[in-house]
């Protein structure tokens, strides 16, 4: 159950003063790999100004997140610094658009 490097599968950082992008991740989908690559590209420009997190399907933490927010497979959710869900969209979203989401 490997996670892509640089991502947390826990969600306690949501609502801690920075925007958070959470991706519903399934390692069996090519689009999940593509989306995490785009998230890493956005992170390389944004640095520590935003949290990039995963809700991995078939894990206790991921399934709890998916149920709480009624998230769909391969969906990205954006939370404001206070932890309010403000946007959601199906993947794949490019790095440039992700950067616009959080600015």
pLDDT at position 2: 58
Residue-level pLDDT at 64: 97
Q: What is the pLDDT of residue 73?
A: 92
Distance CA 47, CA 41 (A): 10
User: What is the predicted pLDDT for the residue at 5?
Assistant: 76
- In this predicted model, what pLDDT tens digit does every residue of 4-58 receive, in sequence order? 777 888 999 999 999 999 999 998 999 999 999 999 999 999 999 999 999 999 9
CA atoms within 13 A on the CB side of 75: 15
Distance of CA 34 to the CA centre of its chain: 13
Q: What is the mean pLDDT of residues 88-94?
A: 96
Model confidence, pTM: 0.94
SS3 90: strand
Strand pairing category for 51-56 and 85-90: unpaired
Contacts 24+ apart (CB under 8 A), 57-63: 57/24, 57/25, 57/26, 59/1, 59/9, 61/9, 61/10, 61/11, 62/9, 62/24, 62/25
Dihedral of alpha carbons 95, 12, 24, 85, sign: negative
């Amino acid at each position: 159950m490997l996670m892509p490097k640089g991502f947390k599968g826990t969600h306690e950082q949501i609502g801690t003063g920075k925007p958070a992008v959470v991706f519903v991740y399934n390692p069996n989908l090519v689009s999940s790999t593509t989306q995490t690559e785009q998230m890493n590209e956005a992170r390389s420009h944004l640095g520590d100004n935003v949290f990039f997190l995963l809700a991995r399907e078939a894990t206790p933490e991921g399934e709890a997140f998916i149920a709480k927010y009624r998230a769909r497979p391969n969906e990205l959710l954006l939370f404001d610094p206070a932890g309010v869900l403000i946007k959601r969209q199906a993947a794949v979203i490019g790095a440039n658009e992700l950067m616009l989401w959080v600015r």
